[in-house]
Every structure is written in C-alpha cells, then in structure tokens.
Amino acid sequence: MDSINENYVDMDEYPVTTELQNRCVNMIAHLFNAPLGETETAVGVGTVGSSEAIMLAGLAFKRRWQNKMKAAGKPCDKPNIVTGANVQVCWEKFARYFEVELKEVKLSEGYYVMDPEKAVEMVDENTICVAAILGSTLNGEFEDVKMLNDLLVKKNEETG
C-alpha cells in the first residue's frame, strides 16, 4: 500500500525502473539463447500488457522487413502477418492500425488452433511474422510451435 500511488512506468520520475527493465530483458534474452557476445546486452522494452507488446513487436517486424526489402531493391508497401483465426483481437488491430495485411488460417471442426501446415502455405516474401499462440483465447490450447518453426525453417531454406 506504501507504493499504491507510484507509477513505475514513468521512467523519468523513477529511473531505477529502467535498470530493472534492462536486467529483465537480458535475463529473458539469455533464457532464450539470444546470440549475444560476452560484452553485448540485449535490446528490448518492458510493456504494461500483451496488446502493447504485440503492437511494438509488430512494428519491429515491419521495420526490419521494410529495411530488408529496401536493401534488396524490392517493394516494401504490402507486408502481411499470418495468424490463426483464434488469436487475440489485438493482432487484428495491429494489422488495421499499421497497414499490414492479415492472413488468417481458418479453424476447422474439432481443431481450434492454427494448423502449422496451412499457416506455412500462406507465407510469402512479404510475411513479416507468423503468430503462434500459447494459450488460445478460445480454449486455452497451445499451438504446435515446434512444428510451425520446423516447417518455416524448411520453407526459408527452400525459398530464401
């Protein structure tokens, strides 16, 4: 209760929270084996909720894709994301707000998560990300992230 009126996200007022955030980002980076050198620190940001995190991640995906396409001399005005129809609504909002085409994998009777094979079929050179859900908003079910990753790695090896 002593801290109820404190707003930790005001980093100017409470600069120590920036250090806490950076430490957490680096812990997560190491947990997921981010390719960091001995003296490098991870780049990241804390967010207040998952919707904010998805918006920021989506923008990072979009900017990275745009830079890659520009460097290759290719058009960079038609990015897309691939999701299952079971995703949180903020993915749809991200697509709408930031001018990204949303490619939705339709769900089927008795199978209420994104089918990895159908998702990978929708991927093209304009795909900035494929969103897998660990805890579907429909039934809490996890999508098969390993299979999705393996299929995407294979497609990338075949198509570049």
> Are 81 and 3 members of one domain?
no
> Are 75 and 42 members of one domain?
no
> Are 68 and 39 members of one domain?
no
> Are 63 and 138 members of one domain?
yes
* Residue 142 contacts residue 135 (beta carbons within 8 Å): yes
> Are 95 and 19 members of one domain?
no
Task: Please identify, among 46, 61, 80, the residue that sits at the C-terminal boundary of a domain.
Answer: 46
> Are 96 and 137 members of one domain?
yes
Q: How many domains is the chain partitioned into structurally?
A: 2
> Are 93 and 18 members of one domain?
no
Q: Which domain holds residue 87?
A: 50-159
- The CATH code of the domain that includes 105 is 3.40.640.10
> Are 36 and 109 members of one domain?
no
> Are 81 and 116 members of one domain?
yes
Residues 6+ apart with CB under 8 A from 46: 21, 24, 25
> Are 146 and 72 members of one domain?
yes
CA 155/CA 159 separation, integer angstroms: 6
> Are 40 and 55 members of one domain?
no
> Are 96 and 38 members of one domain?
no
* Residue 143 contacts residue 134 (beta carbons within 8 Å): yes
For position 10, what pLDDT does the model report? Answer: 74
Q: Per-residue confidence of the chain (160 residues) as pLDDT tens digits?
A: 777 776 666 778 788 888 888 899 999 998 988 888 888 889 888 887 889 999 999 999 999 999 999 999 999 999 999 999 999 899 999 999 999 999 999 998 888 999 999 999 999 999 999 999 998 888 899 999 999 999 999 999 999 8
Give the ranges where the chain is alpha helix by DSSP (H): 16-31, 50-71, 89-97, 116-122, 145-159
